[in-house]
Amino acid sequence: MRLRYVENAHELIEAHDRLLSKPEQYKESWSTLFKTEGPLYVEFGAGKGSFIINTAEKITDANFLAFERNAKVVSKSLTKLDEVDHDNFYIVCADVTNLNDIFRPHSVDRIYLNFSDPWPKDRHAKRRLTHAGFLEKYKTILTEGGEVHFKTDNDDLFAFSVEEFKENGWTLIVETTDLHNSPYVEGNVMTEYEEKFSSQGKNINKLIAKC
Ligand SMILES: C[S@@+](CC[C@H](N)C(=O)[O-])C[C@H]1O[C@@H](n2cnc3c(N)ncnc32)[C@H](O)[C@@H]1O
């Protein structure tokens, strides 16, 4: 383990060379963190990070950031981190609400949202990562033609999200309510939640939206 000391989850994150906790520091310089130039793909609400770790291993010519705000969840990525050799990714322990403090305008090429918290009550709708308020922020950080890739087991959240993207001027280039039985499954990298829900027989929804 490449750790100097471990007293709590935050210190653990500070001490690991694949984990970051103050993303605002890198707003002007994300690209200099990586060894090679390439498009920047980010995930918001990454959980333990296995999706980004596995995707970064497959797509070697892109650079990846996985954002997860819960430090205890991030600390659970450590076992996996010490098993990998590739270095085109970082896991960032931070909330993504203030995206304009973290990224320069039009500096992100792709956003992954995987099994985002559904916030089922109407009064909490603004907290959904596919709410119009977030979609506006995504437009400001995405490059022209940049994409949001969204997967969820939650059919109501998916229906809500499809409408939010369409009403806010995005083009849906992929839309399926049964990813695993669709042509879009080729090359699919499963997330931790996806493994759990699909093993229970739950259909998985997916969309790709272009801004
Ligand atoms: C349901 S889990 C899904 C985890 C993972 N993406 C997967 O598919 O296995 C959603 C995660 O998003 C994180 N999250 C929710 N809102 C967030 C935000 N505004 N910023 C960063 N992380 C967030 C939560 O802490 C939680 O770990």
Dihedral, CA atoms, 88, 93, 95, 98, nearest 10 degrees?
Answer: -60
In a domain, 166, yes or no: yes
Q: Which residue has the higher pLDDT, 15 or 186?
A: 186
41 Cα–ligand 1 center, Å: 16
Residue 127 covered by a domain: yes
Range in 10-14, 72-76, 124-128, 193-197 the model is least confident about? 10-14
- pLDDT value of residue 51: 97
Q: What is the CATH number of the domain that holds 132?
A: 3.40.50.150
Q: Do 129 and 45 contact (CB within 8 A), yes or no? A: yes
Strand ordering across the sheet containing 171-176: 19-20, 89-93, 63-68, 40-44, 108-114, 142-152, 205-210, 171-176
Atom of ligand 1 nearest to the CA of 96: 20
Q: Is residue 2 part of a domain?
A: no
Give the confidence band of 9 by pLDDT, cuts at 50, 70, 90: low
**Structural domain includes residue 94:** yes
Mean pLDDT calculated for residue range 125-132 = 98
Q: Structurally, how many domains does the chain consist of?
A: 1
Radius of gyration of the chain (CA): 17
Pocket of ligand 1 (CB under 6 A): 44-47, 67-70, 73, 95-97, 114-117, 191-194
Q: What is the DSSP string of 26-65?
A: GTTTHHHHSSS---EEEEES-TTSHHHHHHHHH-TTSEEE
- Whether 89 is covered by a domain: the verdict is yes
Ligand 1 geometric centre to CA of 70 (Å) = 8
The type of residue at 86 is H
Atom of ligand 1 nearest to the CA of 50: 9
Q: Is 153 a catalytic residue?
A: no
Ligand 1, pocket-test mutation among 13, 68, 199, most atoms within 8 A of CB: 68
Please report the pLDDT score of residue 173 as a whole number. 98
Q: What is the rounded distance in angstroms from the CA atom of residue 125 to the CA atom of residue 61? A: 36
pLDDT value of residue 54: 97
Instruction: Identify the weakest region by mean pLDDT among 15-24, 88-97, 170-179.
Output: 15-24
pLDDT at residue 197 above 50? yes
- Give the range of the structural domain holding residue 89, as residue numbers without chain letter: 9-210
Residue 1 lies in a domain: no
What one-character DSSP code corresponds to residue 96?
-
Catalytic residue among 17, 82, 101, 117: 117
pLDDT in tens, 55-103: 999 999 999 999 999 999 999 888 888 889 999 999 999 999 999 999 9
Helical (H) or strand (E) element with 165: helix 155-167
Q: How much is the pLDDT for 77?
A: 87
